């Protein structure tokens, strides 16, 4: 059973000890002890998504309570440790606020998809879950930077390799947030954006294969048939991700023998 943290991180404990309202800059310093990559833009983004509601002074400055800092730490921890979408985190926080007993899914069980007992396909199953999430939301450039905690130069480099692509209006799909976070995680192992071009090329080929199957359905006049095309595309994409994960796992096991 997972509960909202009560000073488990140094940040929440410090705020609770003072028991007073603090500025967003102070919140940033408190959170960075456990989350060194958090930024003010990220905190503002979480506020815009309804994850925290700081008080405002008459002049409009944000003021955060110890509970706000604790809540932010909880959200960041759930993102980091469980790879949960903000919507899921918000729903669980709301349930906790109502006094309900809540158990968050572990990594690999997002959106009702259970990871295998041995964890062999856990990463693939988590990736498959991404195709079940709404993707209509569009983020501006600053929102993307705030949501991921990356710098402008990093984002520009990723764009140069085609890893993250903006629409003609300059906005980004919500998928760009997931891509940016994964690129960041891979970077911790020494993999640079130029190393990931092969993954981007493979993804493009997979998308092209899916498109070959559903293109005739998308051109159909019947709205139900076009809707079936989108459902088919999601199913094929999920299956291709699952196959890719299985093939990588098999290749790694073969090399270890």
166-196, pLDDT tens digit by residue? 888 888 887 888 888 889 889 888 999 999 9
Structure tokens at 215: 């293109």
Question: Residue 60 — left, alpha, or beta (φ > 0 → left; ψ -120 to 50 → alpha)?
Answer: left
Q: Rounded to an integer, what distance in angstroms lies between the CA atom of residue 239 and that of residue 180? A: 23
**Which has the closest alpha carbon to 143: 27, 46, 63?**
46
Query: Could you say which residues of the chain have pLDDT below 70?
Result: 1-19, 83, 102-137
**Which has the closest alpha carbon to 85: 53, 126, 54?**
126
Q: Rounded to an integer, what distance in angstroms lies between the CA atom of residue 226 and that of residue 213? A: 13
The answer to whether the CB of 178 falls within 8 A of the CB of 134 is: no
Number of neighbours of residue 155 by Cβ within 10 angstroms? 21
Structure tokens at 253: 């096991």
113 within domain boundaries:
no
**Which has the closest alpha carbon to 210: 188, 226, 194, 233?**
233
Placement of tokens 């833009």 in the chain: 41
CATH of the domain at 70: 1.10.1660.10
Q: Rounded to an integer, what distance in angstroms lies between the CA atom of residue 65 and that of residue 52? A: 10
Structure tokens at 107: 């990594």
118 within domain boundaries:
no
Position 156 scores a pLDDT of 92
Q: Spell out the alpha helix ranges (H) of 32-136.
A: 40-48, 66-82, 86-97, 122-129
87 within domain boundaries:
yes
Largest Cα–Cα separation, the chain: 67
Q: Identify the DSSP state of 36.
A: T
What is the C-alpha radius of gyration for the chain, rounded to an integer number of angstroms? Answer: 21
71 within domain boundaries:
yes
64 within domain boundaries:
yes
Residue 172: in which H helix or E strand, if any?
strand 172-173
252 within domain boundaries:
no
Q: Model confidence over 73-91: pLDDT tens digits?
A: 999 888 777 767 778 888 8
Residue 181: in which H helix or E strand, if any?
helix 175-187
Q: Rounded to an integer, what distance in angstroms lies between the CA atom of residue 12 and that of residue 74? A: 9
In the chain, % helix, strand, coil (3-state, to 5) comes to: 60, 5, 35
Domain count, the chain: 1
The answer to whether the CB of 23 falls within 8 A of the CB of 65 is: no
Helix axes 175-187, 141-148, angle to 10 degrees: 40
46 within domain boundaries:
yes
Position 240 scores a pLDDT of 86
Q: Which residue range(s) make up the domain with 26?
A: 10-104
Three state DSSP letters for 135-154: CCCEECHHHHHHHHCCCHHH
Position 5 scores a pLDDT of 44
3 within domain boundaries:
no
Instruction: Report pTM.
Output: 0.48
């Amino acid at each position: 059973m997972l509960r909202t943290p009560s000073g488990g991180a140094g940040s929440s404990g410090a705020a609770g000890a003072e028991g007073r309202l603090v500025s967003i800059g102070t919140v940033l310093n408190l959170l960075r002890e456990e989350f060194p990559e958090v930024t003010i833009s990220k905190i503002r983004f979480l506020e815009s998504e309804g994850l925290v509601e700081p008080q405002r002074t008459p002049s409009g400055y944000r003021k955060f309570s110890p509970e706000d800092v604790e809540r932010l730490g909880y959200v960041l921890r759930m993102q980091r440790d469980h790879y949960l979408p903000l919507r899921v985190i918000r729903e669980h926080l709301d349930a906790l606020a109502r006094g309900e007993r809540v158990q968050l899914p572990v990594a690999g069980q997002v959106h009702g998809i259970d990871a295998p007992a041995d964890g062999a396909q856990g990463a693939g199953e988590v990736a498959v879950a991404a195709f079940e999430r709404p993707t209509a939301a569009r983020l501006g450039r600053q929102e993307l930077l705030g949501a991921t905690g990356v710098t402008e130069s990093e984002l520009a480099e990723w764009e140069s390799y085609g890893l993250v692509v903006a629409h003609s209006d300059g906005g980004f799909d919500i998928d760009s947030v997931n891509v940016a976070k994964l690129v960041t995680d891979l970077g911790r192992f020494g993999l640079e954006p130029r190393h990931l071009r092969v993954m981007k090329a493979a993804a493009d080929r997979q998308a092209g294969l899916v498109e070959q199957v559903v293109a005739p359905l998308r051109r159909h006049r019947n709205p139900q048939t076009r809707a079936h095309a989108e459902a088919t595309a999601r199913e094929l994409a999920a299956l291709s991700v699952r196959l890719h994960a299985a093939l990588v796992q098999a290749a790694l096991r073969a090399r270890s023998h």
